[in-house]
Amino acid sequence: MKPKSIKIIYWVTTGLLALFILPGIFFLNSPMAQEGTKHLGFPHWFSMEVGIGSFIGGLILIIPGLPSRLKEWNYVALGIIYLSALIAHLSVDGMIGESFVPLVPFALLLISYIYYHKLYPSS
């Protein structure tokens, strides 16, 4: 694959992921977010922690030039968030379509991660 194609795939998936993550900081206290947290049985402070952490993670994804180790751990942390969301939804709501929504950003995260290493192989 050409380096230009690798760069395009990396930035498109990373950009889409950032567009999914970053606006969430503005909706942490929205009634919908609070109801969703309550529905899953989590305390309000937990949703704040995950929301702020996700926002920071989204910034780390799109800021170029940060240390590769920081990027690596960021991918791990975001992956844990999405897989935990999947588990939480499955355990509360069961096998319904909405329970699998966290797999969409997780898939984008995986593609971004794979192409990050193709773009920066020494990282």
Tell me the residue type at 72: E
Q: Sort residue 64 into left (φ over 0), alpha (ψ -120 to 50) or beta.
A: beta
Note the Cα 87 to chain centre separation in Å. Answer: 15
pLDDT of residue 123: 63
pLDDT of residue 1: 80
pLDDT of residue 122: 77
pLDDT per residue of the chain (123 residues) written in tens, 0 to 9: 888 999 999 999 999 999 999 999 999 999 999 999 999 999 999 999 999 999 999 999 999 999 999 999 999 999 999 999 999 999 999 999 999 999 999 999 999 999 999 998 876
pLDDT of residue 121: 86
Structural domains in the chain (count): 1
* Structural domain span for residue 38: 3-119
